[in-house]
Amino acid sequence: MTTRRTDSHPDLADPRVGAPFFSTWRVGTPLRQRQSVEAIAGAWERRPWPADNLLGYHVYSGHDASTLLHYSQWTSEPAYEAFVKTRRQERVDEIDTAVPGIERLGLGRYRHYRSGGAPADRGGRIPGCIVIVDIEFEGPDPDRQRAWVDAVFEALENEPAPHPGGISAHFHLSTDGTRVLNYAEWDSAQSHIEALAAPGDGIGSATALWQRVQTWPGLKSTTVSRYDHALGLVPD
């Protein structure tokens, strides 16, 4: 199989994805963001698609003008480990030669848990901004991860004034039991900024259900980052 670029956004709720991975690179400047994206594209497009068990690989440029987010859709962790042993290093070497000094901030291993808003529900809207909400808890507790996400959905379902710019939300649980990652699709960055500025703490009105989410026992930190979809790679 060859490697093909796509402008299409990934389906985060694809049931074939057994091991979704997220990672962040710090590259430093908007120019280096663009150079890194092109280096990634070149290193992958010049080679065959590495594995049937990789469904897609997507890269996003951070609105902080410094970082890149990577999202890869593997069917299983062993499939990823096999790629690391045989196919990953040659790509890393080519990218690092083109853009020296990339700082790789670590790989997050997750499992998809719940989604609100599937691609079929976008109503033809193409996401104009990806918002990553990274939740960290004090210590591993898989039951707490799931209960917190369930509480978010309860708050969303009872939200009195949902912002029209929100398209979807896809919640992932880290395999170490300590984090939740929400990959949210918005129609624009401005819509997300306006939603944050509305009454209430963060996205959501000042309701008791949202207050419960925001004051959950063991909740350590919440980080919100905005990205643009910069590169999609899929098998052809």
Domains of the chain in sequence order? 3-110+229-235 (3.30.70.100), 112-226 (3.30.70.100)
pLDDT band at 204 (very low <50, low <70, confident <90, very high): confident
Average pLDDT of span 2-11: 96
Quote the strand ranges of the chain, DSSP E. Answer: 3-6, 19-26, 54-62, 67-74, 103-116, 129-137, 166-174, 179-186, 219-235
Q: What is the mean pLDDT of residues 171-185?
A: 98
What are the C-alpha distances in Å from 105 to residues 70, 108, 157?
11, 10, 35
pTM: 0.95
pLDDT at 160: 87
What is the per-residue pLDDT across 79-126, written as a single tens digit (0 to 9) for each? 999 999 999 999 999 999 999 999 999 999 999 999 997 665 566 788
| Assigned token pair, 167 | 């398209």
In the chain, what percentage of residues exceed pLDDT 70?
Answer: 97
Q: For 38-87, what is each residue's pLDDT tens digit?
A: 999 999 999 999 999 999 999 999 999 999 999 999 999 999 999 999 99
Q: By three-state DSSP, how is residue 136 classified?
A: strand
Q: Which one, of 87, 86, 98, lies nearest residue 37 by Cα?
A: 98
